[in-house]
Structure 1
Amino acid sequence: MPAHRHLPPAPRATEGILGIRSQAALVAMLVIAFTLFTGGVVMILVLGSALRGGVEESLRSRAAEASAIVAAEGPGALGAVEARHLIASGPLQLVEHGPADAGKVVYTSSVIWDTPVTALNPEPGQVLVDPHATSPHTGDPIMVVTHGVQVGNHDYDVVVAGSLVSVERALRQDAISLLVGVPLLSLLGGLAVWLVVGRTLRPVEQIRTAVEEISVADLHRRVPVPPGRDEVGRLATTMNAMLDRIQHAQDSQRRFVADASHELRSPVAALGAGLEILAERPEESGAVVPLLKTETRHLASLTEGLLLLARADAGTLRGRRIDVDMDDIVGAEVVRLRTAGRLKVEAHLEAARLVGDPDELHRVVRNLVDNASRFARSRLGLTVVHEDGQVVVRIDDDGPGIPADERARVFERFVRLDPARGRSHGGAGLGLSIVSSIVAAHGGTVEAGESPWGGTRISIRLPGTDAVTPDPEDS
């Protein structure tokens, strides 16, 4: 007996390099970090531009006022009391430009600013700005605004300077806050996402664990369905529905194998017993050989039926697709029944054409007619009509009928409603199941009901030619 091979257990979510939970947290951290860093850089640039713009605007105002005083009252007016507010606001120089020198400081607000702090030399009325100057004494960053002014035949530059130390300090503090805050906030955001995703995936892990523990021997188990109607809840419901189908398929397969084994056992046993009799008592061959032929035919019929149902289960029960006159097939059965003469046969056959396999459709009608003949008391009714684009076949008998709550079961495999109806009355119980499979393969339906005579009516509905397009290869 071969050893059983055990499949390795499914890998846990935590065994991968990065699970969904970790991936979501990492992506959240990256998105948060990128967003905060980009926004922070933009904010610092905008803030720096605004602060420098404020300094420049203040310096331009001082330079314009000082230039107006020099132009109106001369260079010496900068030392007057009226101009002291300009000096108190920051460094101020008045530089005279002659034809032979680069510039000479003729007035300064402080002795430490006794040399020109910039090489800018604007034309009279022109204003030039140096936003990246440095203090000649401290090396601190400053901004210099130079305003050209002409007094008589002399050209002067009014130079005012403003410190940028406070601006640089504010921007530096913001940059440090950005470098410290972005990683911290990213970690907090990633942690929050990690916790939320973990909570969200907890039911999924419970479902996975439950599915992993379900084996072929206990398909009755189901996965837990979390409260709520979210995607996880629908996943659990779908998983349980899938397990229901698997369990039903397995149960059907087990019943099929058990019933097939039971049905095959009888003819095989009969054949074996007959062969033993022939071997021991050849003189009884006249009585044994007909029995062996009967059992062989039954075994062949049973095997053929099982193979057809197996093809139906595999979805390969699709034969030829040609135009078929259903009234001709049913009419042939009417002739056969009337020739036998055992039952009174009533027929109503309208012209009805459909697309299908004539051999399979003939088998459907033959199975239904034989089944009805076995249980009819005195008469059968065969009807073919064309209704609403469908071909409808009805077979009625005046037998004992089928209880209403059992009419769906008769199309299941190996079903005999009356245990007394064994092989002597109908074979293995595959006929109606074969009918149902062939009709379904042709896109139709079959159902059992009550005939007008109190017996059983089997109704088949198949698409007519006006509702079906034949396969191109069968044209």
Structure 2
Amino acid sequence: GLDGQLDREIGTIGKIYREEPEELKDLASHWGITLFRLDDAGGIRQQTEAWEREGLSRGVQPGDSALPLSWTAPSGRRYRVHSVSKSSYRVAAAVEETSLRDTLWTLAVILAMGIPFAAGLAIAGGYFLAGRVLSPIGAMAQKAREITAESLAKRLPVDNARDEFGQLATVFNDTLSRLQDAFERLRRFTADASHELRTP
């Protein structure tokens, strides 16, 4: 995050100051470090123009701050400011928080609007898919209502014998076949019994 970036920048500034102090003025162009100030025994050794323009020195605590602090510059921009003192120098650096806050705010708005939209879309899609998936059951129920004792020869349509609805229709049709056979045997028995009773 920003605090890690600050720590890295402060470490880089300190290393360059110790090893190649003349390169401090090139930190912005070579390293992208645009908001810092380095003081040594002689006072301000290096300070970026942006640091001075934003008045970030006022956001630095006297001595070392244990943790980076958030500070609002007179321009209204928010910065994360941190300083570290070493034996012969003190480095203070800052990273702008405003763009991060704006990004987080935009993300929060997108999520606040997107989650209900996605949930509504999922519900509508689920309702539509459930209707499509369950429509064969409605058709099967309608056909089953049409089958009576006089029309046991009718069968439910089997569109796909491999899916669950096809298997259900097949089982139902098999049951109807057995029922039709039982009715036929009962009719024959009744007819035979009636014939036997009429003939002496």
The equivalent of 2:10 in structure 1 is: 63
- Alpha-carbon shift at residue 261 of structure 1 (Å): 4.0
Contact residue 67 and residue 147 of structure 1 kept, 8 A: no
Equivalent position to 1:198, from 131, 138, 147:
131
Task: Identify if the C-alpha distance between structure 1 residues 214 and 65 changes in structure 2 by more than 3 Å, giving closer, same or farther.
Answer: closer
Secondary structure class of the residue paired with 1:181: helix
Report how many aligned residue pairs link the two structures: 189
The answer to which structure has the higher helix fraction is 2
The equivalent of 1:115 in structure 2 is: 58
The equivalent of 2:35 in structure 1 is: 90
Secondary structure class of the residue paired with 1:145: strand
The equivalent of 1:150 in structure 2 is: 87
Secondary structure class of the residue paired with 1:147: strand
Contact residue 40 and residue 90 of structure 2 kept, 8 A: yes
The equivalent of 1:168 in structure 2 is: 101
* Cα deviation 1:400-454 (Å, max 9, x = unaligned): xxxxxxxxxxxxxxxxxxxxxxxxxxxxxxxxxxxxxxxxxxxxxxxxxxxxxxx
- Alpha-carbon shift at residue 265 of structure 1 (Å): 5.3
For 2:166, the aligned partner's letter is G
- Alpha-carbon shift at residue 215 of structure 1 (Å): 2.0
Q: Matches of 1:195 and 1:248 in 2, distance apart?
A: 41
Q: Matches of 2:100 and 2:67 in 1, distance apart?
A: 17
Task: Identify if the C-alpha distance between structure 1 residues 146 and 223 changes in structure 2 by more than 3 Å, giving closer, same or farther.
Answer: same
- Which stretch shifts more, 208-217 or 252-261? 252-261
For 2:140, the aligned partner's letter is I
Q: Matches of 1:239 and 1:119 in 2, distance apart?
A: 87
The equivalent of 2:147 in structure 1 is: 214
Segments of 5+ residues of structure 2 without an aligned counterpart are none
Percent of residue pairs identical: 28
The equivalent of 1:159 in structure 2 is: 92
Q: Matches of 2:16 and 2:134 in 1, distance apart?
A: 77
Secondary structure class of the residue paired with 2:58: coil
Secondary structure class of the residue paired with 1:110: helix
Contact residue 207 and residue 224 of structure 1 kept, 8 A: yes
- Alpha-carbon shift at residue 208 of structure 1 (Å): 0.8
Higher normalized contact order (CA 8 Å, seq sep 6+, divided by chain length):
2
Contact residue 95 and residue 159 of structure 1 kept, 8 A: no
Contact residue 204 and residue 232 of structure 1 kept, 8 A: yes
Q: Matches of 1:245 and 1:119 in 2, distance apart?
A: 96
Q: TM-score, normalised by structure 2?
A: 0.70
The structure with the largest alpha-carbon Rg is 1
Q: Equivalences for 1:42-441 in 2 at 5 Å? A: 52=1, 55-68=2-15, 82-86=23-27, 89-92=34-37, 94=39, 107=44, 109-110=51-52, 112-118=55-61, 121=64, 128-130=66-68, 133-138=70-75, 140-151=77-88, 157-227=90-160, 229-264=162-197
Secondary structure class of the residue paired with 1:146: strand
- Alpha-carbon shift at residue 195 of structure 1 (Å): 3.6
* Cα deviation 1:140-170 (Å, max 9, x = unaligned): 443233222113xxxx542111112222222
Q: TM-score, normalised by structure 1?
A: 0.34
